[in-house]
Amino acid sequence: MDKRIGLIGLGIMGKPIARNLLKAGYSLTVYSRGRSTVEALMADGAAGARSSQEVAERSDVVITMVTDTPDVRQVILGDNGVLTGMRAGGIIIDMSTVSPSATREIAEVVKAKGVHFLDAPVSGGEGGAIAGTLSIMVGGDAEVFSGCLPIFQAMGKNITHVGGTGTGQLTKLCNQIAVAVTNLAMSEALVFAAKAGVNLEKMHQAISGGAAGSWQLSNLAPRIFQRDFAPGFMVKLQQKDLRLVLQEADRLHLALPATSLAHSLFNALETAGAGDEGTQALVKVLEQLAGVGVKV
Protein backbone atom coordinates (compact mmCIF):
# COMPACT_ATOMS: atom_id res chain seq x y z
CA MET A 1 0.00 0.00 0.00
CA ASP A 2 1.55 3.28 -1.11
CA LYS A 3 -0.06 5.71 1.35
CA ARG A 4 1.28 5.90 4.90
CA ILE A 5 -1.64 6.16 7.31
CA GLY A 6 -1.83 7.82 10.71
CA LEU A 7 -4.67 7.19 13.15
CA ILE A 8 -5.42 9.31 16.21
CA GLY A 9 -7.95 7.97 18.73
CA LEU A 10 -7.95 4.31 19.76
CA GLY A 11 -11.24 3.92 21.58
CA ILE A 12 -14.12 1.49 20.97
CA MET A 13 -14.10 2.34 17.26
CA GLY A 14 -10.53 3.46 16.62
CA LYS A 15 -8.77 0.33 17.85
CA PRO A 16 -10.58 -2.15 15.54
CA ILE A 17 -10.31 0.31 12.64
CA ALA A 18 -6.55 0.40 13.21
CA ARG A 19 -6.38 -3.39 13.15
CA ASN A 20 -8.29 -3.55 9.88
CA LEU A 21 -5.91 -1.03 8.28
CA LEU A 22 -2.99 -3.19 9.39
CA LYS A 23 -4.69 -6.29 7.97
CA ALA A 24 -5.09 -4.46 4.66
CA GLY A 25 -1.33 -3.96 4.56
CA TYR A 26 -1.06 -0.26 5.32
CA SER A 27 1.91 1.25 7.11
CA LEU A 28 0.21 2.68 10.21
CA THR A 29 1.29 5.14 12.92
CA VAL A 30 -1.03 5.55 15.90
CA TYR A 31 -1.48 7.93 18.81
CA SER A 32 -3.95 8.06 21.69
CA ARG A 33 -4.01 9.70 25.10
CA GLY A 34 -3.93 6.23 26.67
CA ARG A 35 -0.44 4.82 26.13
CA SER A 36 -1.57 1.25 26.80
CA THR A 37 -3.78 1.27 23.70
CA VAL A 38 -0.89 2.59 21.61
CA GLU A 39 1.31 -0.23 22.89
CA ALA A 40 -1.40 -2.80 22.12
CA LEU A 41 -1.47 -1.65 18.49
CA MET A 42 2.33 -1.59 18.35
CA ALA A 43 2.22 -5.27 19.28
CA ASP A 44 0.00 -5.78 16.23
CA GLY A 45 2.49 -4.08 13.93
CA ALA A 46 1.71 -0.35 14.10
CA ALA A 47 4.27 2.33 14.88
CA GLY A 48 3.58 4.38 17.99
CA ALA A 49 3.76 8.17 18.22
CA ARG A 50 3.73 10.51 21.21
CA SER A 51 1.75 13.39 19.68
CA SER A 52 -0.68 14.19 16.89
CA GLN A 53 2.07 16.22 15.23
CA GLU A 54 4.39 13.21 15.18
CA VAL A 55 1.66 11.10 13.57
CA ALA A 56 1.25 13.73 10.83
CA GLU A 57 4.99 13.98 10.22
CA ARG A 58 5.08 10.24 9.47
CA SER A 59 1.88 10.06 7.39
CA ASP A 60 0.39 10.95 4.02
CA VAL A 61 -3.15 10.51 5.34
CA VAL A 62 -4.17 11.13 8.96
CA ILE A 63 -7.45 9.75 10.31
CA THR A 64 -8.94 11.21 13.49
CA MET A 65 -11.51 9.25 15.50
CA VAL A 66 -12.14 11.15 18.73
CA THR A 67 -15.11 11.91 20.96
CA ASP A 68 -16.42 15.43 20.39
CA THR A 69 -15.99 18.71 18.52
CA PRO A 70 -13.47 20.29 20.96
CA ASP A 71 -11.34 17.14 20.72
CA VAL A 72 -11.23 17.37 16.92
CA ARG A 73 -10.25 21.05 17.09
CA GLN A 74 -7.46 20.29 19.55
CA VAL A 75 -6.13 17.25 17.70
CA ILE A 76 -6.08 18.96 14.30
CA LEU A 77 -5.53 22.67 15.04
CA GLY A 78 -4.04 22.71 18.54
CA ASP A 79 -0.42 22.88 19.71
CA ASN A 80 1.45 19.80 18.48
CA GLY A 81 -1.62 19.05 16.37
CA VAL A 82 -1.94 17.33 13.03
CA LEU A 83 -1.74 20.52 10.99
CA THR A 84 1.63 21.47 12.50
CA GLY A 85 3.16 18.26 11.15
CA MET A 86 1.26 17.74 7.90
CA ARG A 87 2.94 18.46 4.60
CA ALA A 88 1.10 20.33 1.83
CA GLY A 89 -0.87 17.85 -0.26
CA GLY A 90 -1.54 15.61 2.71
CA ILE A 91 -5.04 14.48 3.65
CA ILE A 92 -6.88 14.66 6.95
CA ILE A 93 -9.93 12.42 7.34
CA ASP A 94 -12.06 13.12 10.40
CA MET A 95 -14.19 10.08 11.20
CA SER A 96 -15.54 11.47 14.48
CA THR A 97 -19.16 12.59 14.78
CA VAL A 98 -19.03 16.34 15.41
CA SER A 99 -20.68 19.66 14.59
CA PRO A 100 -21.17 20.22 10.83
CA SER A 101 -20.51 23.96 11.18
CA ALA A 102 -17.32 23.35 13.15
CA THR A 103 -16.28 20.82 10.51
CA ARG A 104 -16.56 23.47 7.82
CA GLU A 105 -14.53 25.92 9.92
CA ILE A 106 -11.78 23.38 10.58
CA ALA A 107 -11.72 22.40 6.91
CA GLU A 108 -11.18 26.03 5.85
CA VAL A 109 -8.16 26.36 8.12
CA VAL A 110 -6.77 23.04 6.92
CA LYS A 111 -7.26 23.88 3.24
CA ALA A 112 -5.56 27.26 3.70
CA LYS A 113 -2.42 25.31 4.63
CA GLY A 114 -2.58 23.31 1.41
CA VAL A 115 -3.91 20.16 3.10
CA HIS A 116 -7.02 18.28 1.96
CA PHE A 117 -9.88 17.49 4.34
CA LEU A 118 -12.66 14.89 4.33
CA ASP A 119 -15.36 14.47 6.97
CA ALA A 120 -16.22 10.78 7.10
CA PRO A 121 -18.29 9.75 10.13
CA VAL A 122 -19.35 6.13 10.43
CA SER A 123 -22.27 3.97 11.47
CA GLY A 124 -22.29 0.35 12.55
CA GLY A 125 -20.97 0.48 16.09
CA GLU A 126 -18.19 -1.60 17.59
CA GLY A 127 -19.35 -4.74 15.79
CA GLY A 128 -19.14 -3.06 12.40
CA ALA A 129 -15.72 -1.62 13.24
CA ILE A 130 -14.39 -5.06 14.22
CA ALA A 131 -15.89 -6.78 11.16
CA GLY A 132 -14.83 -4.02 8.76
CA THR A 133 -18.43 -3.54 7.64
CA LEU A 134 -19.01 0.08 8.70
CA SER A 135 -21.20 2.46 6.74
CA ILE A 136 -19.06 5.49 5.94
CA MET A 137 -20.58 8.79 4.78
CA VAL A 138 -18.01 11.14 3.28
CA GLY A 139 -18.09 14.88 2.65
CA GLY A 140 -15.43 16.76 0.71
CA ASP A 141 -13.75 16.93 -2.69
CA ALA A 142 -14.79 14.04 -4.94
CA GLU A 143 -11.30 13.54 -6.35
CA VAL A 144 -9.75 13.35 -2.88
CA PHE A 145 -12.48 10.89 -1.88
CA SER A 146 -11.70 8.67 -4.88
CA GLY A 147 -8.02 8.61 -3.97
CA CYS A 148 -8.89 7.51 -0.43
CA LEU A 149 -11.49 4.91 -1.41
CA PRO A 150 -9.17 1.91 -0.86
CA ILE A 151 -8.54 3.15 2.69
CA PHE A 152 -12.26 3.38 3.37
CA GLN A 153 -12.76 -0.09 1.86
CA ALA A 154 -10.42 -1.51 4.49
CA MET A 155 -12.83 -0.25 7.16
CA GLY A 156 -16.32 -0.47 5.71
CA LYS A 157 -18.69 -1.87 3.13
CA ASN A 158 -21.28 0.85 2.48
CA ILE A 159 -19.14 3.83 1.46
CA THR A 160 -20.89 6.88 0.03
CA HIS A 161 -19.58 10.25 -1.09
CA VAL A 162 -22.52 12.43 -0.08
CA GLY A 163 -21.34 15.89 -1.18
CA GLY A 164 -19.14 18.80 -0.15
CA THR A 165 -17.46 19.53 3.15
CA GLY A 166 -19.77 19.03 6.13
CA THR A 167 -22.29 16.84 4.34
CA GLY A 168 -20.75 13.72 5.84
CA GLN A 169 -21.53 15.07 9.30
CA LEU A 170 -25.04 16.17 8.30
CA THR A 171 -25.72 12.70 6.88
CA LYS A 172 -24.46 11.11 10.11
CA LEU A 173 -26.91 13.26 12.06
CA CYS A 174 -29.71 11.97 9.80
CA ASN A 175 -28.49 8.48 10.72
CA GLN A 176 -28.61 9.31 14.43
CA ILE A 177 -32.17 10.64 14.18
CA ALA A 178 -33.29 7.37 12.56
CA VAL A 179 -31.30 5.23 15.01
CA ALA A 180 -32.54 6.94 18.16
CA VAL A 181 -36.19 7.10 17.15
CA THR A 182 -36.16 3.47 15.95
CA ASN A 183 -34.59 2.47 19.28
CA LEU A 184 -37.46 4.20 21.07
CA ALA A 185 -40.05 2.51 18.87
CA MET A 186 -38.48 -0.88 19.49
CA SER A 187 -38.37 -0.27 23.24
CA GLU A 188 -42.06 0.71 23.30
CA ALA A 189 -42.99 -2.44 21.36
CA LEU A 190 -41.06 -4.65 23.80
CA VAL A 191 -42.56 -2.97 26.87
CA PHE A 192 -46.05 -3.21 25.37
CA ALA A 193 -45.57 -6.94 24.73
CA ALA A 194 -44.21 -7.55 28.23
CA LYS A 195 -47.09 -5.68 29.87
CA ALA A 196 -49.69 -7.47 27.73
CA GLY A 197 -48.23 -10.88 28.53
CA VAL A 198 -47.16 -11.72 24.99
CA ASN A 199 -44.32 -14.23 24.59
CA LEU A 200 -41.40 -11.91 23.89
CA GLU A 201 -39.29 -14.26 21.81
CA LYS A 202 -42.22 -15.33 19.63
CA MET A 203 -43.32 -11.72 19.18
CA HIS A 204 -39.76 -10.79 18.22
CA GLN A 205 -39.60 -13.60 15.68
CA ALA A 206 -42.99 -12.66 14.24
CA ILE A 207 -42.33 -8.98 13.61
CA SER A 208 -38.59 -8.96 12.80
CA GLY A 209 -39.08 -10.24 9.27
CA GLY A 210 -41.85 -7.83 8.32
CA ALA A 211 -42.29 -4.09 7.94
CA ALA A 212 -41.27 -3.52 11.57
CA GLY A 213 -37.86 -5.12 11.02
CA SER A 214 -34.82 -3.01 11.88
CA TRP A 215 -31.17 -3.28 12.87
CA GLN A 216 -32.19 -2.38 16.41
CA LEU A 217 -34.86 -5.08 16.58
CA SER A 218 -32.50 -7.74 15.23
CA ASN A 219 -29.42 -6.78 17.23
CA LEU A 220 -30.52 -4.97 20.39
CA ALA A 221 -33.77 -6.72 21.37
CA PRO A 222 -32.07 -10.11 22.02
CA ARG A 223 -29.56 -8.34 24.26
CA ILE A 224 -32.39 -6.67 26.18
CA PHE A 225 -34.06 -10.06 26.68
CA GLN A 226 -30.84 -11.27 28.34
CA ARG A 227 -30.44 -7.98 30.29
CA ASP A 228 -27.17 -7.33 28.49
CA PHE A 229 -26.56 -3.58 28.51
CA ALA A 230 -22.87 -3.62 27.64
CA PRO A 231 -22.15 -0.87 25.12
CA GLY A 232 -21.75 -1.29 21.42
CA PHE A 233 -22.47 2.44 21.46
CA MET A 234 -22.71 4.30 24.77
CA VAL A 235 -25.73 6.28 25.93
CA LYS A 236 -23.54 9.33 26.65
CA LEU A 237 -22.20 9.31 23.09
CA GLN A 238 -25.70 8.92 21.66
CA GLN A 239 -26.65 11.96 23.71
CA LYS A 240 -23.70 13.94 22.37
CA ASP A 241 -24.88 13.16 18.84
CA LEU A 242 -28.50 14.06 19.60
CA ARG A 243 -27.37 17.39 21.02
CA LEU A 244 -25.62 18.04 17.71
CA VAL A 245 -28.84 17.13 15.88
CA LEU A 246 -30.94 19.46 18.00
CA GLN A 247 -28.43 22.31 17.72
CA GLU A 248 -28.52 22.03 13.95
CA ALA A 249 -32.32 21.74 14.00
CA ASP A 250 -32.49 24.92 16.09
CA ARG A 251 -30.31 26.71 13.54
CA LEU A 252 -32.70 25.52 10.81
CA HIS A 253 -35.82 26.43 12.88
CA LEU A 254 -36.86 22.82 12.48
CA ALA A 255 -39.18 20.80 14.73
CA LEU A 256 -37.98 17.26 15.49
CA PRO A 257 -40.48 16.09 18.11
CA ALA A 258 -39.62 12.38 18.13
CA THR A 259 -35.87 13.08 18.33
CA SER A 260 -36.46 15.55 21.14
CA LEU A 261 -38.44 12.94 23.08
CA ALA A 262 -35.73 10.31 22.62
CA HIS A 263 -33.15 12.82 23.83
CA SER A 264 -35.25 13.62 26.90
CA LEU A 265 -35.66 9.94 27.77
CA PHE A 266 -31.94 9.35 27.36
CA ASN A 267 -31.45 12.28 29.79
CA ALA A 268 -33.46 10.33 32.36
CA LEU A 269 -31.26 7.31 31.73
CA GLU A 270 -28.12 9.38 32.29
CA THR A 271 -29.61 10.76 35.50
CA ALA A 272 -30.01 7.17 36.66
CA GLY A 273 -26.28 6.64 36.14
CA ALA A 274 -26.47 4.62 32.93
CA GLY A 275 -24.47 6.92 30.66
CA ASP A 276 -21.79 4.29 30.03
CA GLU A 277 -24.28 1.56 29.12
CA GLY A 278 -25.32 0.64 25.60
CA THR A 279 -28.14 2.53 23.91
CA GLN A 280 -30.42 -0.51 24.32
CA ALA A 281 -30.67 0.60 27.97
CA LEU A 282 -33.28 3.13 26.78
CA VAL A 283 -35.82 0.38 27.45
CA LYS A 284 -35.14 0.76 31.20
CA VAL A 285 -36.83 4.19 31.28
CA LEU A 286 -39.97 2.79 29.66
CA GLU A 287 -39.89 -0.26 31.93
CA GLN A 288 -39.89 2.02 34.96
CA LEU A 289 -42.85 3.99 33.58
CA ALA A 290 -44.75 0.78 32.84
CA GLY A 291 -43.82 -1.16 35.96
CA VAL A 292 -42.70 -4.14 33.90
CA GLY A 293 -39.45 -5.80 32.88
CA VAL A 294 -38.53 -6.99 29.39
CA LYS A 295 -36.76 -10.30 29.96
CA VAL A 296 -37.06 -13.94 28.98
Tell me the catalytic residues. Answer: 172
Q: Which of 141, 59, 148 is nearest to 107 (CA)?
A: 141
3-state helix, strand, coil in the chain (%, to 5): 55, 15, 30
**Cα radius of gyration (the chain):** 20
C-alpha distances out from residue 150 to 2, 10, 37, 155, Å: 11, 21, 25, 9
- DSSP three-state, residue 9: coil
Question: How does DSSP classify residue 87?
Answer: P
E-strand ranges in the chain read 4-8, 27-31, 47-48, 61-64, 91-94, 116-119, 122-123, 134-139, 156-163
Q: How many whole angstroms separate alpha carbon 81 and alpha carbon 73? A: 9
- Our measurement of the distance from residue 124's CA atom to the centroid of its chain's CA atoms, rounded to an integer in Å, reads 8
* Helices H / strands E in the chain, number of each: 15, 9
E-strand ranges in 166-215 read none
CB crowding 156-170: b at 16 or more within 10 Å, else e: beebebbeebbbbbb
Query: What dihedral angle (degrees, nearest 10) is formed by the CA atoms of 184, 187, 189, 193?
Result: -160
